[in-house]
Amino acid sequence: MNKRSRWALPYFIFLVLFVALPLLLIVIYSFTDGAGHFSFANLTKFFSDGNSLSTFAVSIEVAIENTLLCILIGYPAAYILADKKLNPSAVTVVLFILPMWINALMRTLATAELFNMAGIPLGKGTLLFGMCYDYLPFMIYPIYNVLNKMDKSYAEAAQDLGATPGEVFRKVTLPLSLPGVWSGVMMVFMPTVSTFAISEFLTNNKIKLFGTIIQENINNSMWNYGAALSLIMLVIIGITTLFQGGKSEGEASGGVLI
């Protein structure tokens, strides 16, 4: 039996080479200068560069706003979808996943064009709404998944014990669905901070997000600085992952398929 544990070996080597080593390289490049000498210059540059810092702040702000917006719109949608009485057909769920099969850039361009037609100037507002379009399914699906699998007898037990429908939701359904919300947050927050093409299209390059400055630096061969910026993102990912802790098991990430 245990011999088959060796089957994980090729993938282990693959992961070390193409996941662990590249991340290590981000760290190494962050702490070296162009000539390969150890240096803090990249990080001090970031913390003394007003442009980078403000881009960073804007990115975090937009990401928080977008995540909240996605929860605000997505949670009720997921709740309704998971309720057999309100939504008897599974096809509706498919309709929510379907847009993800259309190229994200194409969808974004069309969204931007729609705003143009409607005469809405591209900027912060359009950026938020556009992002929300793009990431809403990623929020709805994990929440829907948790709600759908939730044992109905919890809610019934609460009702039996005298809880009003409002109390049932606040004290039973909502706390039990939080792991789904957390996976949704993971799937919306970091990608929002790091997008580059989407933000360019939605604001006509007026608002730069953190992803954009990483991309610009890498493309302009400023690898060390680009790596340092990536490292900062990695740190934030680390913190959010730790913060999220064991709340959900990476399960909902397979949310793209039916």
Query: Rule CB under 8 A: which of 226-255 touch another protein?
Result: 226-227, 230, 233-234, 237, 241, 250-251, 253-254
Q: Taking a C-beta distance cutoff of 8 angstroms, is the pair 232, 214 a contact? A: no
Distance, in Å, from the CA atom of 68 to the CA atom of 91, rounded to the nearest integer, reads 26
Q: Does 23 bind another protein (CB under 8 A)?
A: yes
Give the range of 25-33, 48-56, 147-155, 169-177 binding another protein by CB under 8 A: 25-33
Q: Taking a C-beta distance cutoff of 8 angstroms, is the pair 227, 217 a contact? A: no
Q: Which of 58, 62, 71, 100 binds another protein (CB under 8 A)?
A: 100
Residues 70-89 that bind another protein (CB under 8 A): 73, 76-77, 80-81, 83, 85-87
Q: Does 148 bind another protein (CB under 8 A)?
A: no
For another protein, which is the closer residue by CB, 94 or 161?
Answer: 94
Distance, in Å, from the CA atom of 121 to the CA atom of 119, rounded to the nearest integer, reads 6
For another protein, which is the closer residue by CB, 79 or 172?
Answer: 79
Q: Name every residue whose Cβ is closer than 8 Å to that of residue 258 and which is 6 or more positions away in sequence.
A: 93, 94, 97
Q: Does 13 bind another protein (CB under 8 A)?
A: no
Residues 52-71 that bind another protein (CB under 8 A): none
Report the Cα 24 to chain-centroid distance in Å.
23
Backbone angle region of 60, left / alpha / beta, with phi > 0 → left and psi within -120 to 50 → alpha: alpha
Q: Taking a C-beta distance cutoff of 8 angstroms, is the pair 68, 136 a contact? A: no
Q: Which of 92, 125, 170, 220 binds another protein (CB under 8 A)?
A: 92
Residues 103-122 that bind another protein (CB under 8 A): 103-111, 113-114, 116-117
Distance, in Å, from the CA atom of 233 to the CA atom of 37, rounded to the nearest integer, reads 23
Q: Does 168 bind another protein (CB under 8 A)?
A: no
